[in-house]
Amino acid sequence: MASAAGAGADGERRNVSDATGVLVLGTCAVWSLVTAAVHGGRPEGVLLAVLAVAAGYATGRISGVLLPVAAPAAAALAGVTLTLAGPRLAPGPEVASPLGHAGAAAAVLTLSAGAACCAAWATPVPALRLALRVLAVGVVAAGAVRGATTAVVLCCAVLLCSLAAGQVRRRGPALAGLALSAGLVAALTWAVAGNALPSGLSGALADELTPRRVDLWHDALVLAHGDAVVGVGPGRFGELSATAARSALSDGKPHSAPLQVAAEQGVVGVLLLAAAFCWVLFALWRAPRPTPVVLTAGATLTALAALASVGNALSFTTVSAGAGLLAGLATARPLTVEPPASPAPSGVRRPDARHGDRPAA
């Protein structure tokens, strides 16, 4: 009886997170259509991104149930193979790193490292866990071979966070910290675009980010101020940005997801983008997977959010689908009960490493 009641309560919690995701993603799609209708924009890019995330999430949920270890390991291998075998993830002009395809490659490698680490935490076999962590180190090496400094830094950060996740017992505060980190990166991007930082710091960041990128951000902020509610319409930044118009290699994007959404879909679009990220963290908090798996996925998706704040990663369908896939894998309920990440000391009762501080069943 108690077991059945616990399973029912757990299913109800999962229904809440799933319903929240459907609502958030559906609203994102509808709002892109509304803003396109107001200004004659092109919502296809937003709709494709929403579809890619939803499809990746559903695929991850299904494969995570059937193959909780093999599925993320295969995803990690696929991501590395895709990055090394196909230097260009989508057609279009080659742009200097990390404005264009290099940023997308860094995102795919980061997701691959996170998937390998999730697979390592999901297996109870020590030898297999070691092999999967070696695979994650191999992803870092792949980034170095490709010359992607951003990918190496982010993959190393994911590896370190994954190792630290094994010592964390309360997933709620950790996930809240990840959300705060992503918000701080987005706020810093906004401050650079608006010249709100001290001149010395602003100049140093501008040199590191490249002046053209900062000019694109500034154009996006100007457009956002022009129509703060609905923006200028999805897909219209390239038409209205003076910096983009002057560049022969421009792809018509400001290379910052929050600023692009602010310019093209207004403050409502920004709130929906933030809501989508918060929903993923909320789903991870309620997930029945072990806490190290959940926090590893959360750290990986936070690294991707930081990269998307300063680059163009989310403009690639591969990246959007990969993010949804990892989130689905980390929130799936395997058919077999997964053991705690490490054995508890003899005679000591500790919090359940599988569930951390998520609501008790």
What does each C-alpha distance from 272 to 23, 99, 187, 277, 341 come to in angstroms? 10, 24, 16, 9, 35
Q: Which two tokens stand for residue 35?
A: 């803003």
Q: Which residues contact residue 140 at a Cβ distance below 8 angstroms, ignoring those fewer than 6 apart?
A: 113, 152, 155, 156, 159
Provide the pLDDT for residue 39. 85
Q: Tell me, what DSSP letter sits at residue 346?
A: T
Distance CA 77, CA 65 (A): 19
**CB burial class (10 A; 0-12, 13-18, 19+) of residue 98?**
buried
Confidence of residue 298 (pLDDT cuts 50, 70, 90): very high
What is the average per-residue pLDDT within 114-139?
96
168 versus 147: which is more confidently predicted? 168
Determine which of 25-39, 45-59, 77-91, 117-131 has the lowest per-residue pLDDT on average. Answer: 77-91
Q: Tell me, what DSSP letter sits at residue 14?
A: H
Q: Tell me, what DSSP letter sits at residue 247?
A: -
What is the average per-residue pLDDT within 247-253?
72
Confidence of residue 333 (pLDDT cuts 50, 70, 90): confident
97 versus 6: which is more confidently predicted? 6
8 A C-beta contact, residue 336 and residue 67? no
Global confidence as pTM: 0.87
**pLDDT greater than 80 at residue 173:** yes
Q: How many CB atoms lie within 10 A of CB 30?
A: 14
* Category of 343 on φ-ψ map: left (φ > 0), alpha (ψ -120 to 50) or beta: beta
Distance CA 254, CA 234 (A): 12
Encoded amino acid at 30, one letter = V
**85-118 pLDDT, tens digit each:** 765 554 333 333 333 567 889 999 999 999 999 9
Determine which of 14-28, 57-71, 76-90 has the lowest per-residue pLDDT on average. Answer: 76-90
Provide the pLDDT for residue 98. 38
Confidence of residue 352 (pLDDT cuts 50, 70, 90): very low
Encoded amino acid at 131, one letter = A
8 A C-beta contact, residue 260 and residue 237? yes
Provide the pLDDT for residue 335. 72
**312-329 pLDDT, tens digit each:** 899 899 999 999 999 999
